[in-house]
Chains A and B, each alone.
Chain A
Amino acid sequence: MTSIVSRFVLLRATVLAAGVASLLGGAAFAETPQNGGTLTAIVQPEPVTLTSAINTAAPTGFISGNVFDGLIDYDLDLNPKPALAERWEVAPDGLSITFFLRKDVTWHDGHPFTAADVKWTLENVWKTIHPRNQATFGRVTQVDTPDDHTVILRLSEPSLAILSSVNSNGAQVLPKHLYEGTDVLNNPYNLKPVGTGAFVFKEWSKGNYLILERNPNYWDKGKPHLDRVVFKVIPDAAARAAALEKGDVQYAVFSPVPLKDAERLGKLPTLKIETRGYEWISPWLFFDLNVDNKYLKDVRVRRAIAHAIDRKAISNIVWYGFAKPAISPVPSTLPAFHDATVPQYEFDVKKAEALLDEAGYKRGPDGVRFALTHDFIPYGDDYKRTGEYLKQALKRVGIEVTIRSQDTAAFTKRVYGDRDFDISSAWFAAFSDPQVGVTRAYWSGWVGKNTPWTNGSGYRNPEVDALIAQAQGQARQEDRIATFKKIQQIVQTDLPSIPLAELKFFSVHAANLKDVVTHGDQIYGSLKDAWFDKAASN
């Protein structure tokens, strides 16, 4: 096994290095953008609705980021940049945040954009309907709008996480004049959005395509460069690869083609593989161990399982190198919060066996200690293969694993509702602040609430709960960082879930499509900077 891994590490390393080299060559911001052209992109799966304010699913974000703007944007290093808010201030006591809005912004239907839109959306959508933000904006007690272009959030406690979550995905501003007094979830404008963004919604043929057109009155003068963006629905991964290869489609995100195909496409002169633009998401893959299971409630068994798993093999073989072994549940892509000193469980079959023996689970006459089930997150073959790897890895230490396959609805109900599982897999977005994305996996308040993508393991530790609450209200970032590091130490000792890998999602785009990735949240952001280099023949 080790020889396989090392050979693969070498192979993948060269391939990825080649990819990065071509990336650096392509990212030439100094070039003068050329206007015009139609960009055809793949959206998959088809979105349900076209505003992220009520649905934070990836395809919705991918399209609606072009129609709407956030209050602020994030650059590739996740530094906040002005968007609808020209600037912002946090009061020294941390108890209020003031946004100063741009004055020259109009909605696509000509109505002026004002502070009233922000106040209305915060109070009626972000705080009540938005699937993720209710926690983020929970401490906002009042919204003041002293004039049409100033918004002041009054907080009960400091809440620094707000500033890492007010881009167009985390806090999309909806037009008050079209939404006020309506049933927001059923508002017809959810399907024909009116935003302030660089592109105007034109047409949506369900199951087929969706067209956005250039907004000539966009506040960011001179942008966008593209005349039109067409989003096509292509359900089959092999067909997506073929469409990109042939040039029918010039842009696709969220690892749109089979990982093995990505290597091949990356070598073509007409295409580029891009792994930037996912910084804001910072995804990590992990196994949740159901701590209510009679075997898994023993921390020695959980540690034994961690020792039985070769995280390098998962990254390099199962994920073809499009992943990096994870050290802690807070990914290294959040350098400030990430703690590299947490307890590690290196790949060691002997140690795993010893721990299992110690826990009292000796091998039976057939070599089996006990049996578990595994439910993998039904997001495609990569996760299925991860499950197949787990099955074989645990077989070596005498644990018989039966893999169960099901669709998303059945999976989330089983893991987060019924808790009828032993080991499940999932990937979460950590986002740029662990408070938004990581703590949900460990906070005991989520256990069994049937809320997808929360605490699946059933881990209940009052100390961790207290630390999570503490981090939310701390005004100084250093204090928050210290608290988050403490949390990482504890959960990696108790090990209710095993971080496996930091996933490297990638986008594929045509080589002559320039500046398509300019933001750390690009896949949920706007294509306002993108342009076609007509000189470069494609």
Chain B
Amino acid sequence: MSIAQSVLPAAEERPVRRGLFARLLRRPSPVAGLVLLGAILAMAALADVAYPVDPLDMVGTPFLWPGADPDFPLGTDMMGRDIAAGIFHGARVSLLIGGVATLVSLVIGVGVGAIAGFFRGRADHALMHVTELFQTIPPFLFAIVIVAILQPTMTNVVLAIGLTSWPSLARLVRAEVLRLRDGEMVQASIVLGLSDARIILTHVLPNVLAPIVVSASIMVASAILTESSLAFLGLGDPNIVSWGSMVGAGREVLRTDWYVATVPGLAIVAAVLALNLLGDGLNDALDPRQNRR
């Protein structure tokens, strides 16, 4: 559950209007979010150009403080690995983990929500029972169980985060779909004899897109945080560099060489902040009531 979702009004018309981008740019915080996110995306894109070597390579003297050696602007860690290279390559991995995990939970959450809301009755009943089941198991605990049992690889971490973060989205989508289902557009389509799948895909989901997009941006942020928490507990993939794994590795030298964990920690804060600012901005821009202020 996220901040933006929590302030989403439950049931009101929220069509995606033109000029969304313009309205997004009207306020300072979404702009800040966009700029930050842009910078992170640029790092991820340029990682191979800026740091062509494997970020796991031990390239320098261990424990070089940031600024101590111009070759390593952000310093090196306990194994002499370049932290700046880790941040660039880690941006890619962390965004990928956040993105794919969110995609997994979007597919499940939107699917379950749409089907339950559209067909109502028995399907709704059954699916909501499943949702409830997943919702009552503490999600982080469940993610830990999944990762520990399937072994900590990147795929499994993504899977675990995706599998445990969809229920609230499913409920949100279901509520929206239930509302839309009785709307004129859907009723007309049913009369016209369009197939259920087509109605859901062309008439229902596009109208639920706004809250989904807002949720998704926040879910990416949550996924990045969850990945770092898993890494803290030793449940990260040792073959790749993510910001979470860097923080996890650096925490044992936190008292002596705090920058090793702090630099990637700040990267996580920046990414989560950016995605939340953006999510809030989207929410405001998509919510007509906010325009009254």
Contacts and interface: CB of A to CB of B under 8 A. Distances in A.
Direct touching of A and B (C-beta under 8 Å): yes
Interface of A: 1, 3-4, 7-8, 237-238, 241, 258-261, 263-264, 317-318, 320, 376, 378, 381, 384-385, 387-389, 391-392, 395, 402-407, 410
B151 interface: yes
Contacts of B234: 378, 381, 405
A405 B238 contact: yes
Interface string B234-267: 1111110000000001011111110000000000
Contact of A261 (B79, B152, B237, B255): B255
Contact of B256 (A7, A261, A381, A402): A261
A157 to B, nearest CB: 45
B122 to A, nearest CB: 41
B61 interface: yes
A385 B251 contact: no
A402 B239 contact: yes
Main secondary structure of the interface of B (DSSP, over half): loop
Nearest to B238: A403
A4 B238 contact: no
A167 B144 CA distance: 40
A144 B224 CA distance: 67
B79 A258 contact: no
Contact of A392 (B57, B78, B237, B252): B57
A384 B245 CA distance: 12
Contacts of A392: 56-58
A166 B94 CA distance: 53
A317 B80 contact: yes
Contacts of B239: 391, 402-403
B89 to A, nearest CB: 15
Given A4-B61, A389-B79, A241 B255 contact: yes
Nearest to B58: A392
Contacts of B257: 260
B151 A317 contact: no
Interface string B58-71: 10111000000000
How big is chain B's contact interface, by range?
Answer: 20 to 34
A388 B245 CA distance: 13
Nearest to A381: B252
A8 B62 contact: yes
Given A261-B256, A381-B249, 13 more contacts: A4-B62, A7-B61, A241-B255, A258-B252, A260-B253, A263-B256, A264-B256, A320-B78, A381-B234, A381-B252, A405-B152, A407-B148, A410-B151
Contacts of B236: 405
Given A8-B62, A385-B79, A405-B238, A260 B252 contact: yes
Nearest to B255: A261
Nearest to B57: A392
Contacts of B148: 407
13 contacts: A4-B61, A238-B254, A238-B255, A259-B252, A260-B255, A317-B79, A320-B78, A381-B252, A388-B79, A392-B56, A392-B57, A404-B238, A405-B238
Given A403-B238, A405-B151, A318 B252 contact: no
Given A238-B254, A403-B239, A260 B61 contact: no
Nearest to B253: A260
B256 A385 contact: no
A349 to B, nearest CB: 14
A417 to B, nearest CB: 16
B252 A388 contact: no
Contacts of A259: 252
A406 B152 contact: yes
B255 A264 contact: yes
Contacts of B237: 405
Contact of B251 (A238, A263, A264, A389): A238
A384 B238 contact: yes
B151 A406 contact: yes
Residue of B60, B61, B235 with most partner-chain A CB within 10 A? B61
A385 B78 contact: yes
A248 to B, nearest CB: 16
A401 B49 CA distance: 24
Contacts of A258: 252-253, 255
B80 A238 contact: no
